[in-house]
DNA sequence: CACTGGTGTTAGTGAGCGTTAACGTGTCGC
DNA sequence: GCGACACGTTAACGCTCACTAACACCAGTG
């Protein structure tokens, strides 16, 4: 069990600070000297631990994509044993919220700096991302069999956008009171979005039909 | 519709291409030579039209924030005359969806490259953004008076994240069939999220008191 | 104590890039 | 025809920045 507290001090420390800086100012907006300064060493000392700046970003993105996928698989296996898609989806949502709140910088990087990777790394990250998305899509389709796959996939992406909005609420302008409240809010909104996805076609009491493509 | 948009040919052409490139590869990831090449001129020729690369980004971000706010105000005035907050919110959602689908690159830039602006421009953009958010928050609070302001604001940000997810659906992996379907899907998801916001208190599978103490 | 490997430092190099300089060319008012 | 101007070109400058080179310190190990 090599969980936390082990702290291979420097490497992880560097990755953590690099993630924060990349998320704040963008990959190109951060210099190696700044990353080094953030961990107490200066500039080129980083090259004792990483092959280069690109390698840091690659490891961050591959790492986060992998952990996200692993966590998702675990939750599907765990909650899916009961055969209740709703419970699985709820578990996936909770897991993603935890992730988004625990590692905001990484979540931000996840869909912002992907293009800076070498082809091989980018392909790997995309593959992990796609698997994670498919995990969700499968569950959503089990829960709402009437929803076509393209809509389910679109809804999943959209809910990701919703959940990943955490970086925009956090520090500035005094957002939500506490973490628990943010969790609760995001959970409710995500469930509401998926619920609306299920109400295909008619139903919606509040707005005009407008469901089919025939809106002029 | 390309009505009279072709008037100041070069300037707008440059802005359009710059927006696309910035959104694709990031502000620092695009060189002035590329922007020039995209409009048929080369490199420093851009400086006949703009003071610099920063000026292009500034004009783009200020422009989009302003148009977003103006459109929102118009819709609040228009649909708000009937005194029906639900209709106003629906109109705001439709407007934001149109915007997100019409100008994906700009929507992407809107909350990605803001930090690259000079202080004055950034302050202006943030002010416009805040006004736009407050427009939504006001309507949401009229519609759901029981929801505390912090939650309403958080929900609005989250729904922005949802609606702004359009860049992730578009080109790759063959997303939604057509634009109308995407519009419809996003509209339904957004309404669903807000509806869930209204159902405060019990309802949810996991109960959290939510606000209670943290007001203000 | 000498040896070695891990970790850090400062100085320097080479490339990329935003920006400016100097110059060319078509169009328009007179 | 002829300045004036808008618009574009290529060449070059200067700065930033990732990365490398050469050197220093410190912990074990024999």
A4 or A11, higher pLDDT: A11
Answer whether residue B197 shows pLDDT above 70. yes
Answer whether residue B201 shows pLDDT above 90. no
> For residue A199, what pLDDT band results from cuts at 50, 70 and 90?
confident
**Strand C close to A48 by CB, under 7 A:** yes
List the Cα angle B23/A63/A97 in 5-degree steps: 75
A115 or B16, higher pLDDT: B16
Q: Residue B9: its pLDDT value, please?
A: 82
Q: Residue A107: its pLDDT value, please?
A: 87
Query: For A32-59, how does the pLDDT look when each residue is reduced to its tens digit (9 = 90+)?
Result: 999 999 999 999 999 999 999 999 999 9
Chain B residues in contact with A211 (beta carbon < 8 A): 184, 188
* Structure tokens that stand for B212 in this block: 């209670």
DSSP class of residue A170 equals S
d(CA B87, CA A153): 28
Q: Residue A167: its pLDDT value, please?
A: 85
Q: Which residues does A114 contact at the CB level (< 8 Å), separation at least 6? A: A61, A122, A125, A126
Q: Report the nucleotide nearest the CA of residue A29, measured to C1'.
A: D17
Per mean pLDDT, which range of A135-144, B104-113, B159-168 is the poorest?
Answer: B104-113
Average pLDDT, stretch B192-215? 59
**Strand C close to A4 by CB, under 7 A:** no
pTM over 0.75: yes
Average pLDDT, stretch A177-187? 93
Average pLDDT, stretch B109-118? 88
d(CA A33, CA A43): 4
> For residue A213, what pLDDT band results from cuts at 50, 70 and 90?
very low
* Structure tokens that stand for B1 in this block: 């519709």
Q: Which residues does A172 contact at the CB level (< 8 Å), separation at least 6? A: none
Three-class SS of B18-86? HHHHHHHHCCCCCCHHHHHHHCCCCHHHHHHCCCCHHHHHHHHHHHHHHHHHHHHHHHHHHHHCCCCHH
d(CA B42, CA B40): 7
d(CA A127, CA A1): 27
Per mean pLDDT, which range of A77-91, A159-173, B38-52, B78-92 is the poorest?
Answer: A159-173
Answer whether residue B85 shows pLDDT above 70. yes
Q: What is the CA radius of gyration of chain B?
A: 20
How close A146 comes to chain B (CA, Å)? Answer: 14
DSSP class of residue B147 equals S
d(CA B135, CA A20): 31
Q: Residue A112: its pLDDT value, please?
A: 85
> For residue A8, what pLDDT band results from cuts at 50, 70 and 90?
low
**Strand C close to A86 by CB, under 7 A:** no
d(CA B37, CA A167): 35
A9 or A2, higher pLDDT: A9
B123 or A115, higher pLDDT: B123
Q: Tell me the pLDDT of chain B averaged across its residues.
A: 87
Answer whether residue A19 shows pLDDT above 60. yes
Give whole-number Cα distances, A20 to A24, A53, A121, A170, B194, in Å.
6, 14, 20, 14, 31
Chain B residues in contact with A109 (beta carbon < 8 A): none
Positions 102-161 in A, CB within 7 angstroms of strand D: none
8 A C-beta contact, residue A26 and residue A57: no
Answer whether residue B202 shows pLDDT above 50. no
Answer whether residue A153 shows pLDDT above 80. yes
* Structure tokens that stand for B66 in this block: 């302003």
d(CA A128, CA A180): 29
Interaxial angle between packed helices A119-143 and A85-102, expressed in degrees from 0 to 180 and rounded to the nearest 10: 140
Chain B residues in contact with A213 (beta carbon < 8 A): 178, 180-181, 184
**Strand C close to A45 by CB, under 7 A:** yes
Average pLDDT, stretch A146-171? 92
Chain B residues in contact with A191 (beta carbon < 8 A): 196, 204
3-state DSSP assignment of residue B172: coil
Per mean pLDDT, which range of A71-80, B57-66, B193-202 is the poorest?
Answer: B193-202
Q: Report the nucleotide nearest the CA of residue A9, measured to C1'.
A: C7
Q: Residue B200: its pLDDT value, please?
A: 66
d(CA B23, CA A111): 12
Bases of chain C with protein Cβ within 7 A: 6-12, 16-21
Query: For A82-137, how does the pLDDT look when each residue is reduced to its tens digit (9 = 90+)?
Result: 889 999 999 999 999 999 999 999 988 988 889 889 999 999 999 999 999 999 99
> For residue A216, what pLDDT band results from cuts at 50, 70 and 90?
very low
Per mean pLDDT, which range of A118-127, B8-17, B172-181 is the poorest?
Answer: B172-181
Say how many CA atoms lie within 13 Å of B146 toward its Cβ.
9
Q: How many angstroms separate the CA of A35 from the C1' of C5?
A: 25
B108 or B51, higher pLDDT: B51
How close B64 comes to chain A (CA, Å)? Answer: 18
d(CA A216, CA A25): 42
Cα dihedral across residues B100, B102, B104, B107: positive or negative: negative
Answer whether residue B121 shows pLDDT above 50. yes
3-state DSSP assignment of residue A23: helix
* Structure tokens that stand for A125 in this block: 């990250």
Number of CB atoms found within 10 A of residue A42's CB: 11
> For residue A178, what pLDDT band results from cuts at 50, 70 and 90?
confident
8 A C-beta contact, residue B19 and residue B105: yes
Answer whether residue B33 shows pLDDT above 80. yes
């Amino acid at each position: 069990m090599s969980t936390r507290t082990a702290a291979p001090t420097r490497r992880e420390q560097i990755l953590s600070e690099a993630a924060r800086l990349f998320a704040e100012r963008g990959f190109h907006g951060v210099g190696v000297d700044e990353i080094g300064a953030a961990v107490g060493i200066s500039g080129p000392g980083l090259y004792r631990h990483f092959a280069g700046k690109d390698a840091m970003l690659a490891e961050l993105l591959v790492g986060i994509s992998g952990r996200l996928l692993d966590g998702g698989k675990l939750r599907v296996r765990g909650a899916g044993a009961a055969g209740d898609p709703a419970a699985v989806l709820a578990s996936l949502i909770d897991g993603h919220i935890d992730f988004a709140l625990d590692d905001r910088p990484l979540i931000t990087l996840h869909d912002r700096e992907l293009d800076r990777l070498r082809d091989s790394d980018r392909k790997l990250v995309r593959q992990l991302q796609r698997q994670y998305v498919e995990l969700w899509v499968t569950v959503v389709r089990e829960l709402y069999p009437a929803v076509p796959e393209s809509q389910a996939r679109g809804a999943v992406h959209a809910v990701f956008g919703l959940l990943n909005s955490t970086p925009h609420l956090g520090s500035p302008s005094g957002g939500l009171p506490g973490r628990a409240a943010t969790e609760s809010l995001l959970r409710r909104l995500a469930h509401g979005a998926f619920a609306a996805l299920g109400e295909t076609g008619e139903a919606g009491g509040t707005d005009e039909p407008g469901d089919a493509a025939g809106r002029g």
